[in-house]
Structure 1
């Protein structure tokens, strides 16, 4: 792996006070580094990492999130997204990468070696290498690494985590990922299209087409993933439209352990976050709406940043007891040298002093009276 360059930003994180109060915003100073991670086939994978500057927080370790975009696009630009940069500034190591053959060549989006694989085994192996690289970073809490996928990115995420269940990934957040070839090609919706030049296996049942999709159907692999699995799903799917839920129900049922009625290995499963209130480790019956979980209202796009909220929530889940998620230990806070004396902090301090002075004056007047 070869580092390319480093840039610095400032981000905000709330500092808890005694009694549960919250004070002014403080900062983790973050840096962005670019490295080339070696894939199992020896190709170099362009990878970007946004993290609290290790030199400023010596000895501190942070949860890590590896983010994978939807479709078949480049992933490295995620490192420039303000939502993910703010996540890093709140105390995360955020990692994004371009699977083989992807990248425009522009700054921040360099092309990885190798050929386009349409989220198949080669791209899944790229994720494996990036996970192993992330786990080796001194500032990463190796017990708290998560993967977040959007849409077709689940083919990479579930494929890698199911094929390599020993990878140190504590949780997977899946945003409305299409789980089989019928959903990926929109066959179920009646407007089928070729994806990566392949139609569904219903339209083309040839052995070659079946083999192609076998690498890319997340539902085949999610059952072997032993970590925690959160599926995000809104009332109106970003791709399949309103009231389409087969993919979500079949993925949850495939991930959940047999003890709860599923067929999988996941330590913990749930549809949507704690704000929605669905049961942990629940399974559902497709075609029987009365058994369905509660969906996010409208579309996921109506709730910008909800994925980040759920990422943080999953990073704080250590066990599931009686259906309740127990919080993990608090994240380490910035050292004094990293806390910003922002205008907001001065304003809050001034208000506090003014209130204290008012109380003193009021008490003095009452004594004179």
Structure 2
């Protein structure tokens, strides 16, 4: 990302070392050579740095084409927030103490913080500007100069608190950031070379990292995952083997992983991490194992697997004549949840835990009965939350052994299972959604997530601990109002590390066993999949607006420093022009504050009109975030401004915000979306005759709702929608989810079901509408699209239905279909652009 560069002379405070600067209204770099200060605004934060390199004391340069700082002597490079990237420096740029005073930032040039000597102060030396930082009398406007802000200020020279600041700008703060020079745009063909990383796992001794590397197989039109290995400093990166989901043994001598094997499907394998590198297949089972965990002593491996059972109902028929070919027997279905999107018909049976010797052998089933291990919040099998006790004699697991569990939504318990007697004991006494137990290293405490039973559609999960023997639970996330996930115990039993979504970002947190939760990282990024070594170093997956997922390392003693270990897409993006992303906050119709982001074309200038795409997320309880998104960058490359937001119903903003659409979906979320569009229009660069709306799943619900309630959009692409809540509840793979949206079933009170079904508002639609759904979709089945398509055809509204081969829910799991989705949408939008000026 290239940022604007400004040059200025600050004004010192009387009697002190502070230098005053105007709080910048847009991302950019300000260099004040006389005072030896760099001021940078980057992704919603303002930083101040000493002008010199922390290693050689030479004056740093700003590389506008790369969006990076560099030392001209030894070529060390740094991010706009001062974070070290590469070179001989090995530490971050020196930050200066900075504070905000109204519309001014005050930099204390006498207090320099070095990241390795005072990491806490280094991390704290930042001013956040993303949440109305200018106070009630100001508002951000893209492209606006200080004189055009709501508070009156003279042009050119700004007078504040008796001092003046003279800007001599090379590129004003107010000018939109210029794109880096590049050869090509992010067109759809680049997606074929796109890669991601997943499940990084650091060895217990902290010396080696194994992770999954996911890339496109262009010949098979699929995604393939292989395991790669590197040193913990990122060096000696190399291919290890085909497989996924690596897990280290406690002594670090082996990894277990999943890979295709005999007699079919994924099986458990073990690789010895010595020079020989022998690999052995541990399981040879008919069903697919999952959720593998090493026993503490390394002698066995536990896993989850479905245990098939015969149907309860069999009928007797005469035997067919010799050589006859009769029709296959019918499928007898007696469970509410019998299919799963992405899988098809589920094996009739129950999911249980097994233990197998780590050298191979016959798995031993350790949970039994007509119940499922693993929490099933929406009724379908997913990951199983379970953990070994340190002595290896018992384990804890989530699940629901109620005979009526198939009709219970968001109900799960935590059980202790004795591996000798195979008896189980329920540890959570109250009804609720209790999940993901994890045992402390000393075996004394069990941490878990959940909440007491509620019929509400959304509720933040809290973090609890309880004695390993059971008993009263202690709430550890009081006042946090965000859902912790991916829990990892500190090795000294002092607390739990976790990540949590919060207003579009995800960071690493620590929940001490005594004291409040505190953030360990604060960046504008998404961090996931933490893995912690005995040395106190962690690896996570990190992504942000301009960087696809990569592995980074964190020293938990100095968590503000994130050290990149991989750059999987450096070759792909090195020559690409990327669209700039701007975070916005705006007010909805009733005053509710809503967060969103604007992605602009690489050639964006604010003095012309641009077509706008409103992209709506699904869920509906989900969160759009600051991670890299190929869809938005492809829209930008094709000349579209994209707005994506988190309307009410979204996660990451607390229970009340997420639950605002309970039994009222769609409703206020529509208001939030339209207010976001108005906010972008108010910036002056949107062509209101070339606005388009799209979204998948819950986004399909809302995009079909939008075009029934406004004609402001020139065209729509409604992807994998729910259009009729009644038929959805009976044909989707998640029927309880459908019934839970309303207080009463439709046979008792059909009115709300009809009012919130977009099919019953279709008569008001005038917008040309493209419908797109996977042929195999079991989540929002094709019938939902067909009903809406037929109605639009009868109404005479321009429409087309695109049915994607080989796709379950969504239209982009196969690389070629992802490209088709993009091309079909943009071609439809161009077809119905009012003046044909879309690039």
Aligned to 2:586: 37
1:223 to 739, 763, 770: 763
Aligned length: 273
Distance 1:228 1:78 in 2: 31
1:175 to 719, 724, 727: 719
Q: Structure 1 residues 249 and 114 mapped into 2: Cα distance closer, same or farther (>3 Å)?
A: closer
Deviation at 1:99, TM superposition (A): 1.0
Q: Structure 1 residues 192 and 100 mapped into 2: Cα distance closer, same or farther (>3 Å)?
A: closer
TM-score by length of 1: 0.63
Aligned to 1:206: 748
In the alignment, structure 1 residue 263 sits paired with structure 2 residue 777? no
Distance 1:212 1:101 in 2: 18
Deviation at 1:81, TM superposition (A): 1.3
Q: Which structure has greater strand proportion?
A: 2
**Given that residues 67 and 78 in structure 1 are in contact (C-alpha distance below 8 angstroms), is that contact kept between their aligned partners in structure 2?**
no
Secondary structure class of the residue paired with 2:648: coil
Deviation at 1:174, TM superposition (A): 1.1
Secondary structure class of the residue paired with 2:824: helix
Distance 1:171 1:79 in 2: 27
Deviations 1:251-275 (A, max 9, x none): 012223xxxxx136x3x21112xxx
Aligned to 1:304: 818
Q: Structure 1 residues 159 and 271 mapped into 2: Cα distance closer, same or farther (>3 Å)?
A: same
Distance 1:142 1:164 in 2: 13
**Given that residues 717 and 772 in structure 2 are in contact (C-alpha distance below 8 angstroms), is that contact kept between their aligned partners in structure 1?**
yes
The within-5 A match list for 1:92-241 is 92-104=640-652, 115-118=659-662, 119-165=665-711, 168-185=712-729, 187-188=730-731, 192-195=735-738, 197-198=740-741, 203-207=745-749, 210-237=750-777, 239=779
Deviation at 1:114, TM superposition (A): 7.7
CA RMSD of aligned residues (A): 3.7
Unaligned runs of 5+ in 2: 1-131, 133-138, 143-175, 188-573
Higher relative contact order (CA 8 A, sep 6+): 1
Q: Structure 1 residues 330 and 120 mapped into 2: Cα distance closer, same or farther (>3 Å)?
A: closer
Distance 2:658 2:714 in 1: 29
**Given that residues 616 and 699 in structure 2 are in contact (C-alpha distance below 8 angstroms), is that contact kept between their aligned partners in structure 1?**
yes
Deviations 1:167-220 (A, max 9, x none): x211111112121113443x125862134833697x44333xx34333431212
Q: Structure 1 residues 95 and 233 mapped into 2: Cα distance closer, same or farther (>3 Å)?
A: same
Q: Structure 1 residues 184 and 62 mapped into 2: Cα distance closer, same or farther (>3 Å)?
A: same
Distance 2:656 2:605 in 1: 31
Deviation at 1:145, TM superposition (A): 0.9
Distance 2:835 2:660 in 1: 39
Secondary structure class of the residue paired with 1:116: coil
Q: Structure 1 residues 224 and 271 mapped into 2: Cα distance closer, same or farther (>3 Å)?
A: same
Aligned to 1:361: none
Deviation at 1:154, TM superposition (A): 2.5
TM-score by length of 2: 0.29
In the alignment, structure 1 residue 251 sits paired with structure 2 residue 783? no
In the alignment, structure 1 residue 331 sits paired with structure 2 residue 838? yes
Distance 1:141 1:238 in 2: 38
Distance 1:58 1:133 in 2: 15
Distance 1:190 1:87 in 2: 32
**Given that residues 718 and 771 in structure 2 are in contact (C-alpha distance below 8 angstroms), is that contact kept between their aligned partners in structure 1?**
yes
Larger radius of gyration: 2
Secondary structure class of the residue paired with 1:84: helix
Unaligned runs of 5+ in 1: 16-24, 257-261, 273-294, 320-326, 333-369
**Given that residues 691 and 714 in structure 2 are in contact (C-alpha distance below 8 angstroms), is that contact kept between their aligned partners in structure 1?**
yes
Distance 2:756 2:686 in 1: 29
Secondary structure class of the residue paired with 1:77: coil
Q: Structure 1 residues 9 and 205 mapped into 2: Cα distance closer, same or farther (>3 Å)?
A: farther
Q: Structure 1 residues 306 and 135 mapped into 2: Cα distance closer, same or farther (>3 Å)?
A: farther
Distance 2:592 2:690 in 1: 27
Aligned to 1:352: none
Aligned to 1:318: 832
The within-5 A match list for 1:44-83 is 44-52=593-601, 57-77=605-625, 80-83=628-631
